[in-house]
């Protein structure tokens, strides 16, 4: 059971506008553990992760789906830790650095293969500053997205939940409404969904001095070990579907039918996520990727 108890003063003393917001994204990091599909060795995992076809799809999704809403956050005061492996080929690392060069919030962190939760804890804790306030943390895969107001709404939720946050080291904040989407040469295919404890817009308030962070808990089991508040009613995430989803590689996983967005749907994605279907079509057009 996760240790609870007050770690700081009264809820009235907390100002969520002063809380540090930290996001973490694994970009093809060959961790030991942390994947649903296992490999025999770190080298075998790296070979799978850095496969040219897979990486082209990953870069296309990261460029067109993941990064645009992060660049357009209504609250730009956050840090995005992008964790990569030290064995990532130089050309791929250079390509990634080029993609985030104009994004001051992005910090690319290279780590050797290690136990997943331990490495992620070290990466997040190294980025934390001692403010005397909780940090607000979120996690995302490199094919997911959050709404343009996600950081702003995370701070607002923390302010609303201040009495609860003062009593627990960890409190989950689950924005559970959004979309499943896939990018294609024809544009975006998507459908709305409401799901509990998906990672895409799942946040956590972490008490100052707490040793663990959002990557140290199984997201699907979060409510077993800490209070979790679900916040429905607003579209806050996109869960990307593609050929290389780790969670969809096992036998018996049924494909999800995703209809193409019409003009109104494309406009909605531009407004909510700063995602441009024309940009998707350009990046995904035949001959533009090194497949």
pLDDT in tens, 257-287: 999 999 999 999 999 999 999 999 999 998 7
Q: What is the pLDDT of residue 11?
A: 66
Answer yes or no: is pLDDT of 251 > 50: no
Percentage of the chain lying above the pLDDT 70 cut = 88
pLDDT of residue 291: 43
Q: Name the nearest CA neighbour of 235 among 278, 191, 169, 276.
A: 191
Handedness of CA 52, 56, 62, 63 (dihedral sign): positive
3-state SS of 228-289?
EEECCCCCCEEEECCCCCHHHCCCCCCCCCCCECCHHHHHHHHHHHCCCHHHHHHHHCCCCC
The confidence score (pLDDT) of residue 244 equals: 53
- What backbone phi and psi angles, to 5 degrees, belong to 20? -75, 130
Task: Please say if the pLDDT value at position 252 is more than 60.
Answer: no
What is the structure's pLDDT at 40? 65
pLDDT digits (tens, 9 = 90+) for 41-87: 777 878 889 999 999 999 999 999 999 999 999 999 999 999 999 99
Of 23-27, 105-109, 151-155, 241-245, least confident by mean pLDDT is 241-245
3-state class of 147 per DSSP? coil
Percent of the chain at pLDDT exceeding 90: 79
CB-side exposure of 127: number of CA atoms within 13 Å? 26
Work out the burial of residue 4: count CB atoms within 10 Å of its CB; fewer than 13 is exposed, 13-18 middle, 19 or more buried.
Answer: middle
C-alpha to C-alpha distance for 28 and 246, rounded to whole angstroms: 11
Which H/E stretch holds residue 84?
A: strand 79-85
- Give CB contacts under 8 A, 24+ apart, made by 264-268: 265/188, 265/190, 266/187, 266/188
Q: What is the mean pLDDT of residues 7-13?
A: 61
Three-state secondary structure along 151-180? HHHHHHHHHHCHHHHCCCCEEEEECCEEEE
pLDDT band for 250, please (50, 70, 90 cuts).
very low
The pTM for the full model equals 0.90
- Among residues 78, 76, 184, which one has the least CA distance to residue 128? 78
Instruction: Tell whether the model's pLDDT for residue 7 goes beyond 90.
Output: no
Specify the pLDDT at position 9.
Answer: 57
- pLDDT for residue 10: 65
Q: Is pLDDT larger for residue 40 or for residue 137?
A: 137
Determine the Cα–Cα distance for residues 179 and 228; give it in Å rounded to an integer. 21
pLDDT at 289: 63
In this predicted structure, which of 31-35, 199-203, 283-287 has the lowest mean pLDDT?
Answer: 31-35
Buried/exposed code over 181-201 (b: 16+ C-beta within 10 A; e: otherwise):
bbbeeebbbbeebeeebbbbb
Over the stretch 158-174, which tens digit does the pLDDT of each residue have? 999 999 999 999 999 99
Give φ, ψ of 263 to 5 degrees. Answer: -60, -40
Exposed/middle/buried for 106, CB within 10 Å: 0-12, 13-18, 19+? Answer: buried
Query: Which residues lie below 8 Å from residue 272, measured CB to CB, with a gap of 6+?
Result: 69, 147, 148, 235
Between CA 124 and CA 109 the distance in angstroms is: 10
The H or E element containing residue 150 is: helix 150-160
CB 175 within 8 A of CB 203: yes
Contacts of 17 (CB under 8 A, 6+ apart): 155
Separation CA 10–CA 132 (nearest Å): 12
């Amino acid at each position: 059971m996760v240790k609870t108890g007050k770690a700081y003063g009264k809820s009235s003393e907390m100002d969520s506008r002063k809380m540090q917001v930290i996001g973490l994204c694994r970009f093809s990091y060959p961790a030991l553990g942390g994947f649903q599909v296992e490999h025999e060795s770190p080298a075998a995992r790296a070979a799978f992760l850095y496969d040219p076809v897979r990486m082209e799809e990953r870069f296309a999704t990261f460029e067109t789906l993941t990064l645009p809403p992060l660049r357009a956050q209504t609250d730009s005061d956050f840090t995005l830790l992008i964790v990569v492996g030290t064995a990532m080929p130089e050309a791929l690392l250079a390509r990634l650095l080029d993609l985030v060069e104009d994004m001051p919030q992005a910090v690319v962190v290279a780590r050797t293969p290690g136990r997943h939760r331990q490495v992620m804890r070290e990466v997040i804790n190294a980025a934390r500053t001692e403010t005397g306030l909780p940090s607000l943390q979120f996690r995302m895969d490199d094919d997911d997205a959050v709404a343009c107001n996600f950081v702003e709404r995370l701070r607002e939720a923390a302010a609303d939940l201040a009495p609860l946050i003062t009593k627990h080291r960890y409190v989950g904040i689950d924005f559970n409404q959004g979309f499943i989407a896939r990018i294609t040469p024809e544009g975006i295919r998507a459908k709305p969904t409401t799901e509990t404890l998906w990672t895409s817009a799942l946040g956590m308030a972490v008490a100052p001095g707490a040793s663990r962070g959002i990557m140290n808990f199984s997201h699907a089991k979060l409510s077993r070990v800490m209070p979790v508040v679900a916040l429905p009613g607003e579209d806050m995430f996109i869960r990307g579907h593609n050929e290389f989803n780790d969670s969809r590689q096992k036998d018996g996983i049924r494909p999800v039918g995703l209809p193409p967005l019409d003009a109104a749907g494309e406009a909605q994605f531009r407004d909510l996520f700063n995602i441009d279907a024309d940009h998707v079509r350009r990046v995904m057009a035949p001959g533009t990727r090194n497949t």
